Amino acid sequence: MLAEAKSAESTQAPGTTWDVERIRADFPVLHQTVNGKPLVYLDNAASSQVPQVVIERGSMYLEQEHSNIHRGVHYLSQKATTAYEGARETVKRFINARESKECIFVRGATEGINLVMHGYGRKFVSAGDEIIISAMEHHANIVPWQMLCEEKGAKLRVIPMNDAGELLLDEYEGLLNERTRLVAVNHVSNALGTINPIKAMIESAHKYGVPVLIDGAQGAPHIIVDVQDLDCDFYAFSGHKMYAPTGSGVVFGKARWLEEMNPFQGGGDMIKSVTFEKTTLADLPNKFEAGTPAIASQIGLGAAIDYLNSIGREQAARYEHELLRYATERLSGIEGVRIIGTAREKASVLSFVIDEIHPHDIGTILDQEGIAVRAGHHCAQPVMQRFNVPATARASFAFYNTRQEVDVLASTIEKVIEIFS
Amino acid sequence: MSELSELYQQVILDHNKKPRNFRKLEHANHSAEGYNPLCGDQLTVYLELENDSVKDVSFEGSGCAISKAAASMMTQAVKGKTKPQVEQLFQEFHTMVTGDPEEEIESNQLGHLKIFAGVREFPVRVKCATLSWHTMHAALNNQEIVSTE
């Protein structure tokens, strides 16, 4: 109820300008000082902040509804189950899945990808088969497939990219063949910000009957996802990168695959019946949800989606796009700053390096001025190798960031250069 | 910027820009590689030991200002010292950069290296300051690769 009341209050008429101060008021964590300076939180691609309505929804669950789901005949268990399954319905509408049972709750995108590796990969991939990933994947969408390839004697093929950080689609077409068993690519690159043309890539794979998994960890928070329109076979994303608590996340899978796949983990809730001779698996989605899940976090994810809908997802995306454009312009104007990832289509992420200054030194100095950025390889070491840098500094934006914050970032980067000159 | 200036002092910035003993040592009889997987920092420490004393020392590699300056100043500090003296200095340096920021630094051995005391305020940067020392320790003890993870 709280979520609904607050949502209605912050609903914004279409066409009006983005009232960022009003949005910021929804996020308690933003209103603090760090090292005596106002917090400038630009590490949203690592984890985004949580609005008050989501915090309240989680608290309400813990205060009034907490119990285990799917098993008790008692009042609280029914309340908890209703709230948890309600969140699944919300997720289903959020990504426009055909059925809510296609939305499997997981800890985050990483667990979602691993679920597909175990459930689909270990069943359908064998020696000599091929799996295609891209040169801009997060380790979470590389390592599971390497593990599978090693186990099965299959081969990992990698779609290369150009110097702007765009996938070479002709090369991709050339990699697809009758031995390909899966294509696994990200929607948006966490290290470069590139938005990949996944709809066309999915269409190409389907010509060979090859299913496609999309790592949507950076996609779902910024782009409106319609899994039916994309026609993707799997889409994995994390709640904590889209304003929900950690421990929440979803992997969407087409029912036909999920029905055929092996289960992921064994345990309670994923079975119909167990004897020592034989276990009969539960129907979807329970087949993939062994054990007690992060109930409060997944309910929080539902509340976060309600919040996104209430503020207007399209307006939020437009605002973020404009902020990224402004930040790109400001940082490009500073001598010595080089932006890594200059694709035509980008979302949220601005990775950069400064001549002769290591990203960790940049990160430490920015932190002293209250600015939170990520400095490092962003769990995408092959991307760093491709651009021949050990690491980058990365500012990543959300719809609650402001132009003033971009200005503070730019002037502090100038200060960094001055210190090291 | 008070804490900042404590970390990025002129001496550190100078050693970052012009690292001393920054080369491969042709007559090295000990060497080791050090990695900090979190940052991607990577360096090699070369040692020429004679009668258990450091006759010459150098390093190569890439890293942040803190790790480069720490490696540069380490090479200056250990040259001419015996193996036990180097190990003792490593212990004191390690204690200093991981210690309580409120505590006085007691060691008299550290000399110029006390400039790294500011690292205590930045727990995530401790590995940057100690990578070269861990690598030196590995080279002295005939380990080839060391990682700070």
CATH 3.90.1150.10 applies to domain A2-49+312-416: yes
Question: Would you say residue A198 has pLDDT above 60?
Answer: yes
| Residue contact A384–B40, C-beta within 8 A | yes
Comparing C-alpha atoms, which of B59, B58, B81, B72 is closest to residue B11?
B72
- Residue A130, pLDDT score: 98
Beta-strand pair A249-253/A103-105: antiparallel
The total of structural domains in chain B comes to: 1
Q: Chain A: residue nearest B62 by CA?
A: A390
Q: Which domain holds residue B101?
A: 2-147
CATH assignment of the domain containing B56: 3.90.1010.10
Task: Read off the pLDDT band of A16 (50, 70, 90).
Answer: low
pLDDT value at residue A9: 39
Say if residue B57 is exposed, middle or buried (CB neighbours under 10 Å; 0-12, 13-18, 19+): buried
CA distance linking residue A50 with residue A307, whole number of Å: 10
pLDDT digits (tens, 9 = 90+) for A35-47: 999 999 999 999 9
Give the pLDDT mean for A169-186: 98
Calpha distance A93→A107 (Å, rounded): 20
Return the pLDDT at A7: 41
Report the alpha-carbon distance of residue A192 to residue A218 in Å, rounded. 11
At B61, which helix (H) or strand (E)?
strand B53-62
Tens of pLDDT along A61-85?
Answer: 999 999 999 877 899 999 999 999 9
pLDDT value of residue A269: 87
Question: Which of B1, B8, B40 faces A390 most closely, judged by CB atoms?
Answer: B40
Tell me the per-residue pLDDT of A271-324, one tens digit each, with 9 for 90 and over: 899 999 999 999 999 999 999 999 999 999 999 999 999 999 999 999 999 999
User: CA of A373 to nearest chain B CA: how many angstroms apart?
Assistant: 14
For residues A71 and A81, the answer to whether their CB atoms sit within 8 Å is no
A-interface mutation test, from B62, B64, B116, B131, most A Cβ less than 10 A away: B64
Round to whole Å and give the CA distance between A416 and A365.
7
pLDDT at A13 > cutoff 70: no
Residue B1, pLDDT score: 45
Percent of chain A with pLDDT over 90: 92
Ordered by start, the domain boundaries in chain A are 2-49+312-416, 57-309
CA distance A307 to A268: 32
Report, as an integer, the average pLDDT of A173-193. 98
pLDDT tens digits, B117-142: 989 988 889 999 999 999 999 999 98
Q: pLDDT tens, B68-108? A: 999 999 999 999 999 999 999 999 999 999 988 777 777 67
Residue A389 to chain B, least CA–CA distance (Å): 9
How much is the pTM? 0.92
pLDDT at A11 over 50: no
Q: How many CB pairs under 8 A join A and B?
A: 45
Average pLDDT of chain A is 95
H or E, element range at A84? helix A75-95
Chain B window 95-114: which residues touch A at a Cβ cutoff of 8 Å?
Answer: none
Beta bridge partners of A251: A104, A236
pLDDT for the residue B5: 64
DSSP string, A89-126: HHHHHHHT-S-GGGEEE-SSHHHHHHHHIIIIIHHH--
Measured between its terminal Cα atoms, the distance across chain B in Å is 30
Question: Which residues of A participate in catalysis according to the annotation?
Answer: 379
Tell whether ipTM is more than 0.85.
yes
Closest residue in chain B to residue A356, using alpha carbons only: B17
Out of B13, B63, B124, the one facing A358 most closely (by C-beta) is B63
DSSP H helices, B8-146, are 10-17, 65-78, 83-98, 126-140
Q: What is the mean pLDDT of residues A131-158?
A: 98
What digits encode the pLDDT tens for the residues B4-52? Answer: 667 899 999 999 999 999 999 999 999 999 998 777 789 999 999 999 9
The model's confidence at residue A12, banded by pLDDT at 50, 70 and 90, is very low
Which CATH number is correct for A57-309, 3.40.50.300, 3.40.50.1110, 3.40.640.10, 3.30.360.10?
Answer: 3.40.640.10
